[in-house]
Structure 1
Amino acid sequence: MDAVLAELVRRGHGLVTRSLVEQVVPEWTLQRSCTNGELVRVLPEVFAAAHLMRDQRVLKDPSVAPLSRIDPALCRRAVAAWMRGRGVLSHLTALDVWGLRRQLPGDLLHVSAPARSGLRSWPGVQVHRRRHLTLAPPSVVVRQGSPVTTIERALVDSWPMLTPAEQRTPTIRAVNDRLTTPGRLQAALDATARVAGRAALATLLTRLAEGCRSPLEIWGHERVFTGPGMPAFQRQVRVRLGGRNVYLDLYAEPERVNVELDGATTHGDPRQREIDLRRDAQLATLGILVVRFAHRRLVREPEAVRRETLAILASRRPHQSAGRHTGLSPR
């Protein structure tokens, strides 16, 4: 490869654009490197170093999109170079940039662009046309060096593309990590005319606004801890223990009962069990009874869990300490 061209590729961390090359070397230099198998065109006007291809068969098989054979992070940079400010990474690709769901090598990359941007879908890239898209803040932010839609827009756009089994996870994680709020997500949903599965997403946002922070808590809310006889539990109530804040899953303040829902991933973990026991003991010094239900029992025996919870709450009512300061506050 020509030395000057090689330096451009090195500075571009494996990528180079035609417009940049033609500023410093003759156009035939680029053509020769492609012919010699040193560079591969992955998008119009964008080239990648051939040694970065995960599968060298792509060099000889025209049916395989070259873009699908390079690392997802390099793919995103290639797409950003190709867009030249005419579009923005979106949908599942935006979720990857936001760290909420990984795209694997070979996955389709997604771009949103104004209707008259001139961008067209290409093998490995799907262009979504948006009539009123504005390619500037606050609609677009720069993250990891690439323009990307807001986290709220990415989550709403991606919802119909995910399987039912994985739909809720990115949204729950985004709220738990305080990257967004249920209110901001609801506003993004309200601003979107057509969303397949809108009702399910709206229900999830309602549960998150009510304080649920995991699929298990949502299950418990919908099937066990609401309905006749159940108190209006406070969710994710903050309490100060030993100089740190902890959060109670479900707290019945009049009865001073905290219901904890133990997820399947922590069940049987001796270290986590020890942490939980210490926390429960500290809460007991505040007069708070902790009742724990494992994932397996909550899912398989919801009616039994419901009956036990009601019985425990009833047994605590005669022992309330009227006017006692709890030191607790909603999250």
Structure 2
Amino acid sequence: MYVDVPTGSGLRDRPHVALRHRIGFAAEPPQVVVRGGFSVTRLDRTLVDCWPLLPPGDRPGPVIRAVNDRLTTSQRLVAALAEEPHLTDRATLRALVHRLAAGCRSPLEIWGHDHVFTGPGMPAFVRQAPIRVGGRTIYLDMFAETERVNVELDGATTHGDPAEREIDLRRDALLATRGILVVRFTHRRLLANPDEVRQQTLAILANRRSSS
């Protein structure tokens, strides 16, 4: 168990309990929240504190999930990270938070952002763009607004069964009524052939611009 205490408290570590002495810390709001009768540090601060405690491969998951589930925000994580200038592997966490702030919502989207969908010729995609159509709001993975193209990245474990495929087809048909072309790339193809995916995306965007 990790316990935050004010600097100068005089408390020391005990078996299975590690104390973190923080300057200016007080076990009261807004630095803590009460959950189940216990005072605990805010989630954004907890995620930053836990970052170096996890194996490197396990570190991004809790941060991504917390933002996706709207339990915290990238802005709060940035503020919490600013309080820890010497955090282990701080640059990686900062880059992850930056990607989440840009709208990436999965490791696959982050990889695509870094290796495929940025750079010369690529538009400034709007990530998680809300589109109101058919009485519902649809959020687009990566929307090129000028070209009216939405790029969707299908994860390795999602969109695999017929029912989910049918949902995708109905969703794409709805977007077509608004003049939006949906282009889908699978997890396998994106990782195995990133250059091909990049060139095809650029060709589709160029074609949409020339035909508009």
The number of residues matched between the two structures is: 212
Q: Give the Å deviation of 1:317.
A: 1.2
Q: Hey, what's the Cα distance between the residues in 2 that align with 1:277 and 1:144?
A: 44
1:149 aligns with 2:51: no
Could you tell me whether the CA contact under 8 Å between 2:4 and 2:22 is conserved in 1?
Answer: yes
| Counterpart residue number, 1:140 | 32
TM-score, L = length of structure 1: 0.62
Aligned to 1:290: 182
Which sections of structure 1, spanning at least 5 residues, go unmatched?
Answer: 1-108, 321-331
Taking the TM superposition and a 5 Å limit, the aligned residue runs for 1:85-164 are 109-164=1-56
Aligned equivalents of 1:267, 1:179: Cα separation in 2: 25
- Of all paired residues, the percent bearing the same amino acid is 62
Which residue does 1:281 correspond to in 2?
173
SS at match of 1:138: coil
Aligned counterparts of 1:217 and 1:157: Cα–Cα separation in 2: 25
Match of 2:66 in 1: 174
Is 2:120 the counterpart of 1:208?
no
Larger Rg: 1
CA contact (8 A) 1:267 1:294 kept: no
CA contact (8 A) 1:216 1:261 kept: yes
Structure 1 CA distance for aligned equivalents of residues 79 and 19 of structure 2: 24
Q: Where do 1:1-331 residues align within 5 Å?
A: 109-320=1-212
In the TM superposition, what whole-angstrom CA distance separates every residue of 1:217-252 from its partner, at most 9, and x where no partner exists? 110100000011111111110012332221101111
Q: Deviation at 1:273?
A: 1.0
Q: In 2, distance between residues paired with 1:248 and 1:181?
A: 19
Shift of 1:289: 0.5
Gapped runs of 5+ residues in structure 2?
A: none
Query: What does the per-residue CA deviation read over 1:120-148, in whole Å, with 9 as the maximum and x for residues that have no partner?
Result: 32222222222321111100110122110
Q: C-alpha offsets along residues 283-315 of structure 1, whole Å, 9 cap, x if unaligned?
A: 011111000001111111101100110111111
- The residue matched to 1:189 in structure 2 has which SS? helix
Partners of 1:262 and 1:243 lie apart in 2 by: 24
- In structure 2, how many angstroms separate the alpha carbons of the residues matched to 1:130 and 1:305? 48
Whether the 8 Å contact between 2:44 and 2:77 is mirrored in structure 1 is yes
Q: Tell me if structure 2 keeps the 8 A contact 1:235–1:251.
A: yes
1:211–1:236: 8 Å Cα contact kept in structure 2?
yes
TM-score normalized by the length of structure 2: 0.95
Contact 2:28 2:39 in 1 (8 A): no
210-219 vs 238-247, greater mean Cα deviation = 238-247
**Cα deviation, residue 118, structure 1:** 4.3
Read off the aligned partner of 1:136 and give its amino acid letter: E
Q: Say if 2:2 and 2:18, in contact at 8 Å, map to a contact too.
A: yes
More RCO (CA 8 Å, sep 6+): 2
